[in-house]
Amino acid sequence: MSSVFARHSMRPSLRNNLIIALAALVSVVAIAQGLSTYQLCRTGMSALLDLRLEQVAMRMRGDLADAIPSAPARGSQPARDIVITIARPGADVPLRSTDPSLALPANAPAGFSSESVNGERWRIYTLRQDERVIQVAQRSSVRDELVRETALTTLWPTLVLLPLVLFAVVVIVHRTLRRLTPLGLAAQSVDAAHLKPLPVTGVPREVLPFVDSINRMIVRLAQLIESERKFIADAAHELRTPLTALQLQADNLQPHIVAGNQERFQELRSGIARSGMLIGQLLRLARADAPLDVAVEPADVSPIVVDAVSGVLPIAAARRIDIGAEAMLADKVAASPADVAIAVKNLVSNAVRYTPDGGTIDLRMHREASALWIEVTDTGPGIAEESLPRVFDRFFRAKSDMHADVEGTGLGLSIVKAITAKYGGQAIIQNRCDGRSGIVAAVSFPLASV
């Protein structure tokens, strides 16, 4: 089970690939948009601050300059304010200044320039007139801080919307692909016993050709399986009559066989009996493969288990095999009583056949989810691990040195598998994991609705 889960987890997921691709695309676009907005905001804010310096300088051309004190108190101006200086050309001391301690370069070019004054970078706008020079300056560090703060505010919408958009991507992809979930469940339920076309209602247009091709394949497969089943059933039915005639002729001929030929005659009768048993198994397999045409009456499993045990008790007693049933439940399953009986009897017969003399066979029932399980545990030699995946193959018989002479058709477990699959159940064969040799054979059938 863990290996199956690991294989599924390693396979690519369309949902995950779409989410990752769309999330990456949205993230790249959001980052590019955020960076471009940030850069545009910085450029625009710098231009706005420059415009402010220029406008202040223009206003200082008139009487508004008289509002600037000629000798302001040193240190009275906040560091974030702009500095205004008005001086005569060539004069060492300005006429008016908001910060006399700051000696702006009088030789600064007209217009905007960046200069270093008192160890700091300043952005200066210089306006030259005939009788005076007006300079308006602002610390570059203050400008950078204002630009950065303003630009960062433009990133908040992106930072807030990006998680919301990513969440919307996940929801949209999930809801879009959720429409394929019923289709996947229907495809998962398709097997040899349930060959029904996949539903096409609500299937996206892009997926419809794929679903149509699968449905055509299912129809062809159903026809092939039905043809095979009918061939097996017809062949087995046709062979049963001549074999029955041979059996009757052998029975009539037995009194006339001389004593020296009795051993060879018994081998002939055994061969006829084995052929008859094989034909009977083929007929059971054909019936097990046949689809259900009508609803079946629920089967009471406890009497079936008791009957299966009773049927092998004489053989078990003769070989000193301790066989018993425990944890009997009164539940009913949604399956034909005859089919459930065949499945249980095949498992019990296999256990008796392969359990050595003096061994133990235990039967138990338990519920799991909406299914009823019947387990048969023996103390036989077990099955080689490499043979376990093939135990349900038709005509396959696991080799065992201890029971090389055990006869069988190799169809018993195939019949069990076909019966359980027909009703939506399971069949499992595994070696015991409690430190003892033997196998645990289990079948499940869905519980009947009350």
How far apart CA 188 and CA 191 sit, in angstroms, is 8
Q: How far is CA 371 from CA 65, 365, 366, 420, 430, in A?
A: 96, 11, 9, 11, 19
Q: Taking the CA of residue 226 as centre, how many other CA atoms within 13 Å lie in the half-sphere pointing to its CB?
A: 10
Give the per-residue pLDDT at 377.
Answer: 92
Q: What is the pLDDT of residue 442?
A: 92
DSSP 104-122: --TTPPSEEEEEEETTEEE
**Number of neighbouring beta carbons within 10 Å of residue 162:** 18
> Angle at the Cα of 410 (from 409 to 415), degrees rounded to 5?
105
* Entry pTM: 0.51
Measured CA to CA, the distance from residue 139 to residue 120 in angstroms comes to: 7
Looking at beta carbons, which pairs linking 126-133 to residues 24 or more positions away fall under 8 Å? 126/57, 127/57, 127/58, 127/60, 127/61, 128/89, 129/61, 131/88, 131/89, 132/86, 132/87, 132/88, 132/89, 132/95, 133/86, 133/87, 133/88, 133/89, 133/106
pLDDT at res. 443: 92
Q: Within 261-331, where are the H helices? A: 262-289, 301-318
Strand partners, 440: 377, 430
Rounded to whole angstroms, the Cα distance separating 159 from 263 reads 94
Fold agreement between 208-289 and 299-446: no
In the chain, domain spans: 61-141, 208-289, 299-446
Residue 50 and residue 44: Cα distance in Å, rounded? 10
Q: What pLDDT does residue 218 have?
A: 82
**CATH code for 299-446?**
3.30.565.10
- Secondary structure (DSSP) of 77-108: S-TTS-EEEEE-TT-SS-SEES-TT----TTP
* Class of the domain covering 208-289: mainly alpha
How is the beta sheet containing 371-378 ordered, strand by strand?
322-326, 360-368, 371-378, 439-446, 426-431
Ordered DSSP codes for 13-36: -HHHHHHHHHHHHHHHHHHHHHHH
Calculate the alpha carbon distances from 212 to 197, 198, 201 in Å.
9, 8, 12
Nearest Cα residue to 291 out of 395, 221, 345, 375: 221
Q: pLDDT tens string for the chain (450 positions)?
A: 444 334 444 566 777 888 888 888 888 888 888 888 888 888 888 888 889 888 888 888 777 777 776 666 655 567 778 888 888 877 777 778 888 777 888 788 889 898 888 888 888 898 888 788 888 888 888 888 888 888 888 888 888 888 888 888 888 888 877 777 777 777 777 766 667 788 877 777 777 888 888 888 888 887 777 777 677 666 666 666 677 777 777 777 777 777 777 788 788 877 777 777 776 766 666 666 666 655 678 888 888 888 888 888 888 889 999 988 877 788 889 888 888 888 898 899 888 988 899 999 999 888 888 899 999 999 988 888 888 888 888 777 766 544 445 555 677 788 888 888 888 888 999 998 888 888 999 999 999 876
* CA distance to 9, 174, 293, per residue, from 23 (Å): 21, 13, 50
Q: Which residues of 168-181 are buried (b: 16+ CB within 10 A; e: fewer)?
A: ebeeebeeebeebe
